Amino acid sequence: MRLLINSNFSSNLHRLIPSKVFLGLIVSLIISFCFLSSTAEAHRPAFPDGFNKSPNSAFQLDDIDISQAIYQILNKNEQVWLSFDPKNSSTKTANIQLGVPVLKESESFKPMVAIIGQNMDKIDLPFDIPAGFGAILYESNTEQPIKKFHEPFTNTDSWILIEEDFKITERGTHYVVIFSKTNQTGKFWFATGTKEVFNLSAISDLNKNISKVKTFHKPSTYSNDTNIQQDQKNGWQSHLQKISYFKPFNIYLIAGSILLLLVFILVKKRTTPK
């Protein structure tokens, strides 16, 4: 009798474990697709501490092929320094964008971008660069209308001043310097990369980053702590509203996963002894 009970228990256990594993995989796929669909539409944001004002304190970018955006304020008579090393990336082209929030205070703010690297052409810049380095300069084209961009995930609007592809021909550390030749102060964001990378830490910081980006796009006089806290409180509500902003391909994947889950439940019911 004991042998028979042990045999039945072992048989049921072997059937139960694969079922639970299969169910877990389906649920994991559904959750993953939901988060991937809702986060893949925006650059991964970063907010430097503001001390990156020289080559020695430059904020280090990730692999420049990874979609990322830096949000920062350019202060008068200063430059913002970022850096990247091509050896950390498989791409030979850096996609660069520079934008400013759609605000009254930003209408005349036209920062520029200098890409600095070894053995590049020497050009005149209003600041010092490391010895042996040259640069290429990018600025907004005043002869063409400025492109307006709406980011649906955070529901923010920007003017894109610069969109260029920088061909990497030199090795070693490169610097990206954002500056104003008229010594203006203003908010800007700098973005590079096209490859979306799913990162679990990005999910945990999602609510906080949505709030930061939305606050960044408000006028500089906006400093009411109560309103900032309200933005943070409404962050997940905003996220849930944007959850419908899926790519069609991912919708099919989610629907397929749900269908598999329903089939699993139906088969489970029919095969479970009464």
**Residue range 25-29: mean pLDDT, rounded:** 52
Domain 44-199 coded CATH 2.60.120.380? yes
20-24, 55-59, 110-114, 132-136: least confidently modelled range: 20-24
Pairing of strands 186-192, 68-74: antiparallel
Cα–Cα distance between 239 and 235 in angstroms, integer? Answer: 6
pLDDT 10s digits, 203-262: 667 788 889 999 999 998 644 444 444 444 444 444 434 433 334 444 555 666 677 777
For residues 93 and 168, is the Cβ–Cβ distance under 8 A? yes
- For the chain, the residue count is 274
pLDDT 10s digits, 33-81: 444 444 334 578 999 999 999 999 999 998 899 999 999 999 999 999 9
pLDDT 10s digits, 178-188: 999 999 999 99
